[in-house]
Amino acid sequence: MDATTAGSLQIRLQQPGALVNHTGLWVYSADDLARPLPNCGTGPIRDRDYRCTCSLPRAERYVVRFYSANPDVYYDDLNPYTLQVTYQ
């Protein structure tokens, strides 16, 4: 996503029960994909309905990454999940 000013980001992830404790979610600056923004994500995600709010330090492109601990074991291709990202 492209942030036009500094601001905040609200994230909501609703995931199937099979993925609880086996996923992670982090936000990165597109200029530094090796280091997530401080306090902007978590892993493992311990809830089916995860929410977080974090600050965006400046106007730039940001990337939200959703990870599986082990995609060969922890996956759910039958139940939907929803990822909602709101920039303010």
**pLDDT for position 51:** 97
**pLDDT for position 39:** 92
pLDDT digit string, tens, across residues 6-42? 999 999 999 999 999 999 999 999 999 999 999 999 9
Kindly list the distances between the CA atom of residue 82 and the CA atoms of 4, 11, 53, 79, in Å, as whole numbers in the listed order.
25, 10, 17, 10
Contact of 37 with 28, CB cutoff 8 Å: yes
**pLDDT for position 73:** 85
pTM of the complete model beyond 0.75: yes
pLDDT digit string, tens, across residues 43-62? 999 999 999 999 999 999 99
